[in-house]
Amino acid sequence: MSITLIIIIATALVSFPALQNDDLKDKYLFWPYMIRSRKEYFRFFTGAFLHADLAHLAFNMISLYSFGEVIEKYLFPQLFGPFATVLYLLLYVLGIVFASIPDFFKYRHEYGYRALGASGAVSAVIFAAILLYPTMGLNFFFIPIDIPGWLFGILYLGLSAYMAKRGGDNIGHSAHFWGGVFGLVFTFLAGWFLANVNLLNYFIKSILNG
């Protein structure tokens, strides 16, 4: 069984019981105030295994499966060989934490701010795939035609940054943005140090030749 499927199953097993149990959600979701005041650092990680509803869970897990399987079975093994599995796990786990750090510092004194979901880590996986395969065809759900992965990435990051600044909709747009940034930086550095490949040059050449 792939690492991606194990993550999906684990996330579903934790998310399902919490869907109708607010006490369980409150105990483990990402809550900056509680992290600061009670030193509950586990919340940086456990919040990614909880979701607001079935649609939220399904969207994240379908996205993770679509991109994670490709990275885990093809893109990372081709580039990193025996390091591929470990790097994929690090990409996902560190993506969970890194995507939450900006919101922790922003909301650590606000009792009412809480968040949950795997969106930050999933964004890290998506953008790792975009860096390695920038010409792949992707689309927003409201745009019925494929656009190149690199253009999708620009639009996604731009929209996430704008929506995070505007706020008011209880969606973790900041986590989407910083998760995507982490995915790009992590994969670039792994390529540079472990595979001796400049993925930025590869990215640019792929776009120009695409």
Any domain includes 124: yes
Q: Residue 171 pLDDT > 60, yes or no?
A: no
162: phi > 0 → left, psi -120 to 50 → alpha, else beta; which?
alpha
Any domain includes 17: no
Task: Compute CA 19 distance to the chain's CA centroid, rounded to the nearest angstrom.
Answer: 21
Distance, in Å, from the CA atom of 4 to the CA atom of 184, rounded to the nearest integer, reads: 19
For residue 210, the SS3 value is coil
Any domain includes 203: yes
Q: Residue 168 pLDDT > 60, yes or no?
A: no
Which residues touch 39 (CB under 8 Å, ≥6 apart)?
none
Any domain includes 142: yes
Domain that holds residue 147: 53-106+118-209
Any domain includes 173: yes
Average pLDDT over residues 120-132: 95
Residue 166: band (very low, low, confident or very high) from pLDDT cuts 50, 70, 90: low
Helices (H), 19-148: 22-28, 32-38, 43-46, 54-70, 76-80, 84-107, 119-132
Any domain includes 37: no
Q: Most distant CA pair in the chain: distance in Å?
A: 53
For residue 21, the SS3 value is coil
Strand partners of residue 148: 137
Strand partners of residue 137: 148
Q: What is the pLDDT of residue 106?
A: 92
pTM greater than the 0.75 cutoff: yes
Which helix (DSSP H) or strand (DSSP E) does residue 45 occupy? helix 43-46
**DSSP 8-state secondary structure symbol assigned to residue 4:** H
Any domain includes 167: yes
Structural domain total, the chain: 1
Any domain includes 129: yes
